């Protein structure tokens, strides 16, 4: 479509002398003026269809991002299963995991050796004080209490303090030695502040368990431990916090995966369930700003890339009709994509959109569009990489498989290719660990992947006729349908104007060969040639190819002006018939343009001779020219040349190769000098190639016939006469 539109837009407006050379001063100027007006027409259609496409794209993405709503309350039993519509972090579970990790981090303590030294110093001081008091001959009890009270806690009674002095020094010294050893054991293992009370109780329990220590001494030493035992392990908060931070960096957030159950049917709804549902958007506000803005940006990216591609590479082809077609294809593709990905991401019909756009628009655009739809399928299917990979490979496979679709079976073959590529991609994803190839769902997924290609082909085949009818698009499939001899209009041509039918077939063969030689659309040229003279159905016997033997030529009794009017009317009649039978406009162009604004030279010369014989003013040349327009494409120009050349060479008495070539080049030169080819964009090199092709085909058609010798008559073989009749050269060669 793009290539044809670009060619149609290239109108040669540089020949200012077209009016004089064509004999009609109005028509060429009118052609140029219309072309200029068309080019200057504001492209408001781009804005309208672009906006419509963006709105549909935005709506599709927004619907996909807004999950279905549920109504649940804390404390009630859930009546339904609720699954996550996307991946989300479970904050409550994550915090619980973090707390567990923090609790498991061991605290960092620094050992203080001075604590043991200090308490040993106190033990030494206590012994020294006891020895000093014991050596004093006269000392009051209050002096004993005053001297020993600083070593013990307040709960030790004065009686116990005095009792220590009344006990044998050897016993007291032994008891102190035991307590000192117990304290050293505790501190050597390391004593934390939270374990201090327990350590004191352990030491005091050891004192109480020793029978050799008097009770008053045990209570005194217990008071000494209560007051003087201190922890020697000090918490290093900075290092501990550092260890906690390092441990927390290893904690991964607890994620709820897409399709994972949030709450099951019959389960009690908790506060955490409600938090998760609100975070997923399943409860609370129906549409959130994040969803709207996300859908807007995704739609902007999708439409922006597509629009920039079209403007960059196909700006000349963006006519109102083509723009509408593009917009509808994009919108339909997105809607179908949304519907099928709602069933499964493995059914993302990207190949359908690629097949449709490749057939209706352009293969390069189809490949680019397929990549964009692969991105869109990832959004619609929950941002799963596996769906994007499958959509991308299947889209590229369909773009490569759909070349020039000559029949609808080729689309099904492309669907088979997509199925094979999709299966290979699925296997690759499984082998590389991107997805699991185990479980009961694997076979279901495989079936969906394999069904994607054929399903896309069915959708493409079903959609093509709709677009062909709506926009009058001539796909190769449609052209082949038009070329079928059973088409009602061609069948009428065969039955009512058989000479014209066979002439059209010959013109089609010539046009197809020439179009192939220069790289034009050969199928379009052939089908256009079949219909170019369809208007002769209305008055077939006014044209020599339909006049039977010994039939009087009606033009012998008609004036040249009337004859030319009747002959030239077959163009208008053909357009009317074609529209009556719903023939596409591209084919009608061949009917309108196959004579261009050419001169009906036979009747013009005849009218000029009659006027000269009567000493009258010569007729105006424009009255004997066709209304046109001149050919606007290479294909219609080729049919113009093939039409004239086929008729001219058919009238040759001795069609030798030299004479055929002379006629071919003469007619091409006449059309060129008459400016009939100005709008066709044909180059001189292409015209030379066309001439060589015509000569080659016509030389093969008018080949030399072999003269077969007549067998001698054998009276004994009565069948010889029949053999001669059935075996003549004409019968065999025809």
pLDDT at residue 25, as a whole number: 36
CATH topology of domain 42-63+300-473: Arp2/3 complex 21 kDa subunit ARPC3 (1.10.1760)
State the pLDDT at residue 587: 93
With 70 as the cut, is the pLDDT of residue 65 above it?
A: yes
pLDDT higher than threshold 70 for residue 722: no
Residue 426 in contact with residue 449, Cβ under 8 Å?
Answer: yes
Contact (CB, 8 A) for 543 and 569? no
- Residue 717's pLDDT band (cuts 50, 70, 90): very low
Q: Is 653 helix (H, G, I), strand (E, B) or coil?
A: coil
Q: Which residue has the higher pLDDT, 106 or 371?
A: 371
How sure is the predictor about 95, in pLDDT bands with cuts at 50, 70 and 90? confident
pLDDT surpasses 70 at 40: no
Taking the CA atoms of residue 141, residue 144, residue 148 and residue 152 in that order, the dihedral angle to the nearest 10 degrees is: -10
Strands (E), 49-120: 82-83, 88-89, 109-111
Kindly give, in sequence order, each residue whose CB lies less than 8 Å from that of residue 155, ignoring residues fewer than 6 positions away. 223, 226
Can you tell me the distance from the alpha carbon of 507 to that of 516, in angstroms, rounded to the nearest whole number?
14
Q: For the segment 432-483, what is each residue's pLDDT rounded down to a tens digit?
A: 776 766 666 788 888 999 999 999 999 998 898 888 888 878 888 888 889 9
Confidence (pLDDT) at 286? 61
| Domain 480-701 grouped into CATH 1.25.40 | no
Inform me whether the pLDDT recorded for 203 exceeds 90.
Answer: no
Q: Is the pLDDT of residue 84 over 60?
A: yes
Residue 45: predicted pLDDT: 82
DSSP letter at 679 equals T
pLDDT of 9:
38
What pLDDT is stored for residue 673 in this prediction? 93
pLDDT band at 721 (very low <50, low <70, confident <90, very high): very low
What per-residue confidence (pLDDT) applies to 674? 92
Mean pLDDT of 18-40: 40
**Which residues are CB-contacts of 119 (< 8 A; sequence separation ≥ 6)?**
183, 187, 228, 229, 230
Percent of the chain clearing pLDDT 90 (strictly above): 33
- The per-residue pLDDT for 578 is 94
Q: Are 388 and 375 in contact (CB under 8 A)?
A: yes
Domain boundaries, the chain: 42-63+300-473, 109-235, 480-701
Higher pLDDT, 21 or 514: 514
Candidates 432, 377, 424; CA nearest to 397 is 424
Residues 540 and 546 sit within 8 Å (Cβ to Cβ): yes
* 344-361 mean pLDDT: 90
Distance CA 332, CA 327 (A): 8
Find the mean pLDDT for residues 67-77.
74
- pLDDT of 713 reads 52
366-418 pLDDT, tens digit per residue, is 999 999 999 999 888 877 888 899 999 999 999 988 876 666 778 888 889 99
- At 506, is the pLDDT very low, low, confident or very high (cuts 50, 70, 90)? very high
Distance from the Cα of residue 459 to its chain's centroid:
16
- Alpha-carbon gap, residue 37 to 628, rounded angstroms: 19
- What Rg do the C-alpha atoms of the chain give, in angstroms? 51
CA dihedral over 329, 334, 339, 343, signed as positive or negative: positive
What pLDDT is stored for residue 458 in this prediction?
92
pLDDT reading at 275 higher than 80? no
Confidence bin at 16 (pLDDT 50/70/90): very low
- CA atoms lying within 13 Å on the CB side of residue 326: 29
| pLDDT confidence of residue 666 | 94
Comparison of pLDDT for 445 and 1, the residue scoring more: 445
pLDDT at 69 over 60: yes
What pLDDT score was predicted for residue 6?
45
- What are the beta bridge partners of residue 245? none
Q: Do residues 76 and 157 touch, judged by C-beta distance below 8 A?
A: no
Range name among 318-322, 620-624, 700-704 with the lowest pLDDT average = 700-704
Rounded mean pLDDT of 692-712?
A: 74
Nearest partner of 646 among 506, 466, 477, judged by Cα: 506
* Closest-CA residue to 92 (of 266, 270, 282, 245): 270
């Amino acid at each position: 479509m793009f290539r044809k539109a670009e060619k149609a837009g290239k109108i040669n407006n540089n020949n200012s002398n077209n009016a004089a050379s064509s004999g009609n001063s109005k028509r060429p100027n009118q052609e140029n003026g219309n072309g200029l007006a068309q080019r200057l027409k504001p492209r408001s259609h781009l804005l309208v269809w672009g906006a419509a496409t963006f709105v549909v794209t935005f709506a599709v993405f927004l619907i996909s991002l807004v999950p279905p709503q549920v109504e649940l309350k804390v404390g009630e039993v859930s009546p339904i299963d609720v699954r996550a519509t996307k991946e989300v972090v479970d904050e409550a579970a994550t915090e619980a995991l973090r707390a567990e990790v923090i609790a498991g981090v061991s605290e960092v303590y620094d050992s203080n050796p001075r604590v043991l030294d200090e308490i040993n110093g106190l033990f030494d001081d206590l012994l020294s004080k006891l020895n000093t008091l014991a050596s004093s001959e006269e000392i009051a009890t209050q002096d004993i209490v005053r001297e020993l009270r600083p070593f013990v806690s307040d709960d030790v009674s004065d009686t116990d303090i005095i009792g220590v002095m009344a006990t044998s020094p050897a016993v007291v010294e032994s008891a102190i030695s035991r307590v000192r050893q117990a304290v050293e054991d505790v501190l050597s293992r390391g004593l934390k502040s939270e374990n201090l009370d327990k350590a004191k109780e352990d030491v005091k329990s050891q004192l109480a368990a020793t029978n050799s220590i008097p009770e008053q001494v045990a209570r005194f030493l217990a008071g000494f431990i209560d007051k003087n035992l201190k922890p020697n392990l000090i918490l290093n908060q900075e290092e501990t916090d550092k260890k906690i931070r390092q441990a927390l960096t290893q904690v991964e957030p607890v994620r709820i995966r897409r399709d994972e159950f949030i709450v099951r049917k019959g389960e009690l709804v908790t506060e955490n369930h409600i938090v998760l549902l609100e975070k997923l958007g399943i409860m609370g506000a129906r549409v959130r700003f994040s969803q709207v803005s996300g859908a807007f940006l995704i739609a902007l990216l999708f439409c922006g890339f597509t629009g920039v591609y079209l403007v960059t590479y196909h700006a000349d082809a963006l006519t109102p009709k083509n723009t509408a077609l593009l917009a509808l294809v994009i919108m339909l593709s997105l809607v179908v994509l949304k519907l099928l990905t709602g069933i499964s991401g493995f059914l993302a019909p990207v190949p359908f959109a690629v097949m449709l756009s490749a057939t209706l628009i352009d293969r390069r655009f189809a490949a680019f569009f397929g990549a964009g739809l692969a991105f869109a399928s990832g959004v619609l299917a929950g941002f799963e990489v596996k769906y994007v990979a499958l959509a991308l490979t299947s889209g590229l496979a369909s773009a490569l498989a759909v070349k020039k679709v000559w029949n609808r079976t080729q689309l099904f073959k492309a669907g088979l290719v997509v199925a094979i590529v999709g299966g290979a991609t699925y296997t690759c994803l499984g082998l590389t660990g991107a997805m699991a190839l185990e479980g009961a769902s694997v076979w279901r997924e495989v079936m969906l992947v394999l069904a994607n290609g054929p399903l896309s082909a069915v959708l493409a085949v079903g959609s093509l006729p709709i677009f062909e009818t709506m926009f009058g698009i001539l796909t190769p499939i449609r052209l082949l349908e038009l070329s079928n001899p059973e088409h009602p209009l061609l069948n009428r041509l065969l039955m009512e104007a058989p000479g014209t039918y066979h002439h059209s077939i010959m013109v089609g063969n010539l046009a197809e060969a020439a179009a192939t030689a220069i790289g034009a659309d050969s199928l379009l040229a052939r089908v256009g040639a079949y219909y170019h003279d369809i208007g002769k159905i209305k008055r077939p016997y006014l044209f020599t190819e339909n006049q039977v033997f010994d039939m009087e030529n009606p033009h012998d009794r008609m004036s040249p002006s009337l004859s030319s009017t009747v002959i030239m009317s077959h163009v208008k009649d053909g357009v009317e018939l074609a529209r009556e039978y719903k023939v596409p406009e591209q084919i009608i162009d061949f009917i309108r343009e196959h004579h261009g604004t050419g001169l009906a030279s036979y009747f013009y010369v005849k009218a000029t001779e009659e006027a000269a014989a009567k000493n009258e003013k010569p007729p105006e040349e424009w009255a004997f020219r066709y209304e046109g327009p001149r050919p606007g494409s290479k294909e219609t120009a080729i049919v113009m040349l093939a039409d004239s050349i086929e008729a001219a060479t058919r009238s040759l008495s001795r069609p030798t190769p030299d004479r055929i070539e002379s006629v071919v080049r003469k007619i091409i030169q006449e059309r060129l000098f008459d400016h009939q080819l100005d709008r066709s964009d044909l180059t001189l090199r292409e015209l030379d190639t066309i001439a060589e092709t015509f000569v080659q085909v016509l030389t093969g058609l008018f080949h030399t016939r072999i003269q077969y010798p007549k067998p001698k008559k054998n009276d004994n073989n009565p069948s010889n006469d029949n053999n001669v009749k059935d075996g003549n050269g004409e019968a065999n060669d025809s």
